[in-house]
Amino acid sequence: MVVLGLAGIIVPQIISLIVNFFLGWLLIVAGLLSLYVIHLSRWRSAMTWLKAILLLVTGGLLLFDPKAGIAALALLLTFYLLLDAVANFGFAYDYHPLKGWGWIVFNGLGSALLAGMVMIGWPQTSALLLGIYVGVSLLLDGLVLIFMSLGARPPSHPL
């Protein structure tokens, strides 16, 4: 996670395109698999077909217009980061007496800061910010996991 995070910070536009195209193809594959399963099943209501078609259309739109897709993903990422911040604060509150809870608060503050930054520059800075935000979020999550695992180690006892 740390290495991918650093890559996102160094080349954010490329990471933004990768995230956009990955999600676009993921939605298209999910739509095609849904169509196949619907075709094989006995239950073929209009809603099941509609879901599969929406998956295909959404994935196609992400691939057809990457700039708009990246702007939409940046907005969705903002909501995710806000929820991530709230979840981290709640987790830190529950984890409080144990070693490492401050790192969880730090992670939550980082997520909240990133969400605020994307709101300020959206949609003009979406391509740059999406890659940076994905990178910083991965970097922080990776560092938190490293520091928490170091804090969770039992103290070594001399023999």
pTM comes to 0.66
Tell me which DSSP letter residue 45 carries.
Answer: -
Q: What's the pLDDT band for 154 if we cut at 50, 70, 90?
A: low
Q: Which of 11-15, 23-27, 121-125, 154-158 has the lowest mean pLDDT?
A: 154-158
Widest pairwise Cα distance in the chain: 70
Residue 83 has pLDDT above 90, yes or no: yes
pLDDT tens digits, residue range 9-33?
Answer: 898 888 889 889 999 999 999 999 9
- Burial code of 123-158, b = ≥16 C-beta within 10 A, e = fewer? eebbbebbbbbbbbbbbbbbbbeebbeeeeeeeeee
Distance CA 21, CA 73 (A): 11
